[in-house]
Amino acid sequence: MITLHTITEQDIHTTIAAGEFPEHIRTAAEHVAIISTQDWCPDWKAMQRWLNEEAAPRSTAANPAAAATPAPSPATASPDADTAAPASANPDNVAVFVIVYNTAPYQQEFMQLKEGTWKNGFIPYVRYYHHGQYLGDSNHLPRDRFYQRFGISP
């Protein structure tokens, strides 16, 4: 199951300065994916749809209207939004953090990190971590291939 999280602006600035996400984000669960994107991107919209479906409580599956309601985007999430709560102990859980940076005040600095240091100019850009260790990165992936990056069968 997917748990969606936002990243604080302070953590973004820490990431820009250090060149890597803070440990408390990378270790928020056994499996962590951090998605950097821009809100207009069609590939992000497709990925966001299945992420929201995976993150939906199982009880909404019987209620199509509830399941179709998208989760709030990180850019519009409330200040109380979960920023780094650990996922449950299930090893198949994946904590997903989302950064929608094109509307953020740190857009230029974050793009320099993403495109210069991490050498990736495409979106959405995904970094994968297992027990806090960097596994690799990719761009947009369909649901099954996303889970496969962690060795999980969806």
The answer to whether residue 33 is domain-embedded is yes
pLDDT value for 56? 56
pLDDT value for 90? 60
CATH number at residue 8: 3.40.30
Q: Report how many domains make up the chain.
A: 1
The answer to whether residue 138 is domain-embedded is no
Half-sphere exposure of 13 (CA within 13 A, CB side): 6
The answer to whether residue 48 is domain-embedded is yes
The answer to whether residue 145 is domain-embedded is no
The answer to whether residue 12 is domain-embedded is yes
* Residue 32, beta-bridge partner list: 95, 129
Report how far apart, in Å, the C-alpha atoms of 1 and of each of 4, 95, 101, 106, 139 are: 10, 9, 25, 30, 20
Print the domain residue range for 34. 2-133
Task: With beta carbons less than 8 A apart as the criterion, state whether 114 and 22 touch.
Answer: no
Spatial separation of the C-alpha atoms in residues 68 and 49, rounded to whole Å: 9
The answer to whether residue 37 is domain-embedded is yes
pLDDT in tens, the chain (154 residues): 899 999 999 999 999 999 999 999 999 999 999 999 999 999 999 999 999 999 955 433 333 333 333 343 344 333 333 444 344 446 568 999 999 999 999 999 999 999 999 999 999 999 999 999 999 999 999 999 999 999 998 7
pLDDT value for 81? 39
The answer to whether residue 147 is domain-embedded is no
pLDDT digits (tens, 9 = 90+) for 56-87: 554 333 333 333 333 433 443 333 334 443 44
* pTM to 2 decimal places: 0.79
The answer to whether residue 143 is domain-embedded is no
